[in-house]
Amino acid sequence: MIMQSRGINGILNVFKPPGMTSHDVINYLRRTLKEKKAGHTGTLDPGVAGVLAVCLGKATRIIEYLEDNVKRYRAEVTFGCSTDTQDGYGQVLKISDASSLSRQEAEKALLAFKGVQQQLPPMVSAVKYKGRKLYELAREGLEVERIPRPIEIFDIKIIKHRKFGTPGPGLLFDITCSRGTYVRTICHDLGERLGYGACMSFLVRTGSGQFNLEDSLLLEEIVGLHEQGMLHSKLMPIDTALPLEEVWVSEDTFESIQHGNKVYQPGVMRQPATLRENEYVKLMSPEAGCLAVARVSVRQKERAQSPDCEGGLVFQPVKVFC
């Protein structure tokens, strides 16, 4: 028999306001919702607003499966100005006259960033160096050697252009990218390629995986829904959020799954036609929803340990929710 879970379990699509750190948002929700377990799936800089997926209760156990979600942003790059933080909040390092830069030249150079590439993390970032965050070192006036990291830009769409033919023109654009991409570094590098310098003058995260800006909730809205007892209607369930293949199991496997034991083929009602060894799947039940995340192994490796293994695949629970 499956125990009914208590408390708040699911993912909230939060609109993080500018001026708060991502951790500030988590602490605020912990206090407001009286839910000790809370975490987010992708840090946003304090000055940046936008989508922050917040996992609550048992949903904190799936954060690692959501962190690689594709991120979407709307950003503005301003040419002719370079700063030490690569955005509009830093100290100006260089001012150039970019009035000779054409819109066509700028757009072509920006669109050339699409694809897989190596990106050098900025000093003002949360990337760690010998156990310390780079921005902590930057505050002390230090600059250390950084290792470029692989990123991928899936798409860039130009939204509008601004004041070309003047010293400080700009482009507003939408960008879809992999986790760990610094959009302000894209803006900085674009300015360096063109020879005028540039910085990111605006940024909002418009999406993260399945979560979109238009569906995000203000903190005030979350408080109101919680006070009305309606917050659960806005929670994305664990099974919906998990980007894994579904394996449906029978009710007689529940107790075994609760204890973290392997599920063999006789207990499987339905599974995808093709699964790879060591692939992660979600074990599903019509009665109880998502029971666990499990790792796939092949029958041959289990035969010596269990004569009950009659064929097919074996599923080893690694994160149990029931």
Say if residue 209's pLDDT is above 50.
yes
**Mean pLDDT on 276-293:** 91
Q: Is pLDDT at 7 greater than 90 in this prediction?
A: no
pTM of the prediction?
Answer: 0.87
Q: Are residues 103 and 185 in the same domain?
A: yes
> What residues have CB less than 8 Å from 52, skipping those under 6 apart?
14, 15, 16, 22, 25, 40, 41, 42, 44, 205, 208
Residue 258 lies in a domain: yes
- Write down which residue in 191, 221, 239 finishes a domain: 239
| Whether residues 29 and 103 fall in one domain | no
Could you give the CA distance from residue 189 to residue 196 in angstroms, rounded to a whole number? 10
Shared domain for 160 and 261, answered yes or no, is no
pLDDT mean over 6-16: 90
Range of the domain at 131: 71-208
Name the nearest CA neighbour of 203 among 45, 35, 33: 45
Residues 78 and 113 in one domain: yes
Residue 307 pLDDT grade (very low, low, confident, very high; cuts 50, 70, 90): very low
Distance of CA 172 to the CA centre of its chain: 22
Half-sphere exposure of 261 (CA within 13 A, CB side): 11
* Contact between residue 94 and residue 191 where contact means Cβ atoms under 8 Å apart: no
Across the chain, mean pLDDT equals 90
Instruction: List beta partners, residue 246.
Output: 282
Count of structural domains, the chain: 3
Structural tokens at position 220: 């005030």
CB 136 within 8 A of CB 198: no
Q: pLDDT of 239-263, one tens digit each?
A: 999 989 999 999 889 999 999 999 9
- The closest of 239, 280, 211, 237 to 69, measured between CA atoms, is 211
Q: Clarify whether residues 94 and 161 are in a common domain.
A: yes
Q: What is the pLDDT of residue 224?
A: 97
Query: pLDDT, tens digit, for every residue of 211-233?
Result: 999 999 999 999 999 999 999 99
Give the pLDDT score at 300: 60
- Of the pLDDT bands very low, low, confident and very high (cuts 50, 70, 90), residue 10 is very high
- Do residue 149 and residue 51 come from a single domain? no
**What whole-number distance in Å separates Cα of residue 172 and Cα of residue 183?**
12
Comparison of pLDDT for 133 and 105, the residue scoring more: 105
Q: pLDDT band at 305, cuts 50/70/90?
A: low
In the prediction, which pLDDT does 6 show?
A: 61
Identify the band that residue 14 occupies on the pLDDT scale cut at 50, 70 and 90: very high
157 pairs with which residues across the strands? Answer: 174
Single out the residue of 198, 186, 183, 193 nearest to residue 81, CA to CA.
198
Instruction: Tell me the helix, strand and coil percentages in the chain, rounded to 5.
Output: 25, 35, 40
Q: How many whole angstroms separate alpha carbon 309 and alpha carbon 299?
A: 7
Tokens linked to 143: 């600059």
Same domain? For 149 and 92 the reply is yes
43 shares its domain with 128: no
3-class secondary-structure state, position 28: helix
Q: 26-55, pLDDT tens digit by residue? A: 999 999 999 999 999 888 888 899 999 999
Q: Give the residue from 163, 187, 208 where a domain finishes.
A: 208
Instruction: Say if residue 21 is in the same domain as residue 97.
Output: no
Token digits of residue 210: 């399945």
d(CA 191, CA 43) in angstroms, rounded, equals 25
Residue with tokens 């995986």: 209
Q: Residues 129, 202: one domain? A: yes
Question: Closest Cα to residue 184, out of 123, 133, 259, 122?
Answer: 122
Could you tell me the CATH number of the domain that includes residue 26?
Answer: 3.30.2350.10
Q: Would 101 be classed as within a structural domain?
A: yes
Q: What are the catalytic residues?
A: 45
Residue 173 lies in a domain: yes
191 and 125 part of one domain: yes
Whether 2 maps to a domain, the answer reads: no
Q: Is the model's pLDDT at 309 over the cut of 50?
A: no
Joined tokens for residue 267: 């207990």
Residue 3 placed within a domain: no
pLDDT at 173: 98
Give yes or no: residues 26 and 88 share one domain: no
In this structure, is residue 259 part of a structural domain? yes
CA 135 to chain CA centroid, Å, is 20
Indicate the pairing of strand 149-162 with strand 71-79.
Answer: unpaired
pLDDT digits (tens, 9 = 90+) for 115-143: 999 999 888 777 787 888 887 887 878 88
Question: Domain holding 295: CATH number?
Answer: 2.30.130.10
Token pair in block for residue 194: 């063109």
| 222 in a structural domain | yes
Residue 14 in any domain: the answer is yes
- List, for residues 50-100, the tens digit of each pLDDT value: 999 999 999 999 998 887 789 999 999 999 999 999 999 889 999 999 999
